[in-house]
Amino acid sequence: MTARIVTGWCAALCATIAAPLALAHHAIVAKFDDTKPTEIEGIVTSVDWRNPHVHVFVNVARGDAVENWAVELESTVLLDRSGWKHDTLKPGDSVRVNGPSARDGSRQVWGTRVVAMPGGRQVYNVTDTAPTVSRAQRKPVPRSADGKPVLGVADASGGYWAYPTSTVLQQTGANVRMDKDGVLARIADAPKVAPFQPWALGVYEHRQQRHLADDPGFLNCKNPGAVRQLQTPYGVQFVQDAARQRVFVLIGGGNRNYRIIYMDGREQQGQVQGDDDNPLYYGRAVAHWEGDTFVVSTTGFNEDFWFTNGGLPHTDRLSLVERFTRTDYNTLRYEVTVDDPGAYTKPWSSGWELKWVEGELPVYFCQDNRS
């Protein structure tokens, strides 16, 4: 099973460890102005059921003229999890849509509320929530033959980690209000998020002022490297290759991208006939066990991506120490210490939990309807 999973992902994307193809979800406010609510009503002409965002096209009558509007929605993965399909709405259906309009003045609206008419049934709303497990259903941590916790699939049922309890990064104790994409409720709170150096604070505030519109993950499908891979709604899957002393981290929100963590004692440097010393999107990761906690040290990142939601800057001096602890069968505790003397005045830490989801890791391709 392990070999099949890894072979399938590697064969599909052997070159993408260093290639810039991955995430393309944008912060809603990067494209849509939440101070300009819009309501349209019209006839569906088509449904574009592709990533990064589904679009429903609607003809809207304006006097004697007809305007075609694009209603933007969440990804196919999140809509499918919520029970919706590409043909929930069909050409010819009547709809009413409420949501913020596009910042550039084009005929686009975010579908905060989409209602099928007549009847008023709300459709394409995301109701996806983490699976719940009662106390009676809780199972102990699965363990391998050497007694160490199994971080990934323990049996034939399959599964992966998703539904992070936080999708943003801020230093422990900050409690700064921001949305799920990392957009601050008040830019004045920016200095509290992390111990920024002055230039890094300026970059962070600039990105926030632009509502994260410059996110290279959206503009150029750059990889969700570093912390960001554990903030996506699509999940990650650990595949432990004990024979070769390595762990694959398969990334559901990254075009079948994967990260490799080595446990064979190697140094954190590239291979002479491979990536040499070129910095990477996922860096160079080595790991060891401390009791039941899997401790990963990663360095060698490039600067071509955002390492977390929200646009916190980093340099090529970034290093991470990540601690993964499977506290029970259904819970993975993630703790990270960020150390980047090029951008921050001192190391700082954060953490959250992920939940176990049975089934196949979803596949999300950012370029489905990107031109």
pLDDT band, very low/low/confident/very high, at 280 (cuts 50, 70, 90): confident
Q: What is the pLDDT of residue 354?
A: 97
Q: To 10 degrees, the CA torsion angle through 359, 361, 362, 368?
A: -150
Cα–Cα nearest to 208, from 193, 228, 226: 193
To which residue do tokens 């890791």 refer? 361
Contact in structure between 301 and 316 (CB atoms under 8 Å): yes
Tally of residues, the chain: 371
pLDDT average, residue stretch 25-48: 92
CA terminus-to-terminus distance, the chain: 36
Mean pLDDT, all residues of the chain: 89
pLDDT band, very low/low/confident/very high, at 371 (cuts 50, 70, 90): very low
Is the per-residue pLDDT at 13 higher than 60?
Answer: no
pLDDT average, residue stretch 298-321: 96
Is the per-residue pLDDT at 16 higher than 80?
Answer: no
Task: State the number of CA atoms in the 13 A half-sphere of 349 facing the CB.
Answer: 9
pLDDT band, very low/low/confident/very high, at 330 (cuts 50, 70, 90): very high
Q: What is the pLDDT of residue 129?
A: 87
- Write out the two tokens for 7: 């072979």
Q: Give span(s): CATH 2.40.50.140, the chain.
A: 28-123
Q: What is the pLDDT of residue 213?
A: 92
pLDDT in tens, 86-117: 999 999 999 999 999 999 999 999 999 999 99
**Domain range 28-123, its CATH number among 3.30.390.30, 3.50.30.60, 3.40.50.970, 2.40.50.140:** 2.40.50.140
Which phi and psi angles does 234 have, rounded to 5°? -95, -15
pLDDT in tens, 348-358: 999 999 999 99
The mean-pLDDT minimum among 5-9, 286-290, 294-298, 323-327 falls in 5-9
Is the per-residue pLDDT at 17 higher than 50?
Answer: no
pLDDT band, very low/low/confident/very high, at 362 (cuts 50, 70, 90): confident
Q: What is the pLDDT of residue 276?
A: 60
Is the per-residue pLDDT at 262 higher than 90?
Answer: yes
Own/partner pairs for 108-112, CB < 8 Å, 24+ apart?
A: 108/31, 108/32, 108/69, 108/70, 108/71, 108/72, 109/32, 109/38, 109/40, 109/69, 109/70, 109/71, 109/72, 110/28, 110/31, 110/32, 110/71, 110/72, 111/56, 111/71, 111/72, 111/73
Cα–Cα nearest to 208, from 186, 176, 238: 186
- Write out the two tokens for 76: 């196919």
